[in-house]
Structure 1
Amino acid sequence: MSAVLATYAGYVVLSVALTLWVARTLFRNGALFLVEVFEGDEKLAAAVNHLLVVGFLLVNLGFVAYALQVDGSVPDARAAVEALSRKFGAVLLVVGAVHFTNLFVLQRMRRHARAVHRRPGPAFAPVVPPAPGYRPAPPR
């Protein structure tokens, strides 16, 4: 097997494995978050979670396929490792960027859902237990 083919094989295997692992992690850990965003509607949350994972996979695997070509020649093992490192590093950056974009959008959805159902009152009302020995004043 030539160095170029070995680089391609390593790139595809590492990139697909990483993308699938992140998608699986997002699917499992995002489910509870989406249930809260969709106010307990588990069916809707599961559907949105599935759609988000499909979109995540399409974007990231599409990038992996698009970026497959190695620029220049790969004459030896060193050049192959360097090319693989550059390619896999780009995949890591894209996967991370898509992941944080998803988190940003979901957090905005969560904030919006909470704001819609928030009761009127002070913006911040901490719950502080009374001091020891405190007695409320009798009503007038």
Structure 2
Amino acid sequence: MDLTVVAYIVYLLISVVLTVWVARTLSRNGRIFLADVLKGDEKLAEAVNHLLVVGFYLVNFGFVALYLRQDGTIDTVRHLVEGLSVKTGVVLLVLGVMHLGNVFVLGRIRRRGTPEREQRPPVPPQAWAPPAARM
């Protein structure tokens, strides 16, 4: 078997395993954050979490597929390892950027909803009081 084919297979295995692991980790640990962002609506948080995971898979698997092609030939094991490290590093960077993008957007949504929570008085006003006279 040609070393280029071996590189393709190893690259796909590493990329798929990393993408699935990151997506599951983010999904599992992001539920609480999403519930807070969405003001305690657990059902909506679960739906948004699922949609984010599907989008995460689509974008990352699409990138992995587009980045599969190897420009040069792989003649030695050294070239194989070097090529795999570059490709895996780029996939990890894309996964990290996707994660940071999600956290940034959700943080903005959360911050936008925070002033509404803080501006409401804890109890409704009981009566109106006229301003005090100046002395």
> Which category of TM-score, normalised to the shorter sequence, fits these structures?
0.7 to 0.9
In structure 1, the partner of 2:95 is 95
In structure 2, the partner of 1:18 is 18
**TM-score normalised per structure 1:** 0.83
- One-letter code aligned to 2:79: A
In structure 1, the partner of 2:2 is 2
In structure 2, the partner of 1:47 is 47
Kindly state the Cα deviation for residue 93 of structure 1 after the two structures are TM-superposed: 0.7
Within a 5 Å distance, the mapping from 1:1-140 to structure 2 comes to 1-119=1-119
Q: Structure 1 stretches of 5 or more lacking a match?
A: 122-140
Give distance in 1, aligned partners of 2:95 and 2:101: 10
Give distance in 1, aligned partners of 2:17 and 2:115: 38
| Residue identity (%) | 54
RMSD: 1.2
Give distance in 2, aligned partners of 1:71 and 1:115: 52
**TM-score normalised per structure 2:** 0.86
Give distance in 1, aligned partners of 2:116 and 2:53: 27
Count of equivalent residues: 121
Q: After TM superposition, where is structure 1 displaced by more than 2 Å over at least 4 residues in a row?
A: none
- One-letter code aligned to 2:23: A
- One-letter code aligned to 1:89: G
Q: Structure 2 stretches of 5 or more lacking a match?
A: 122-135
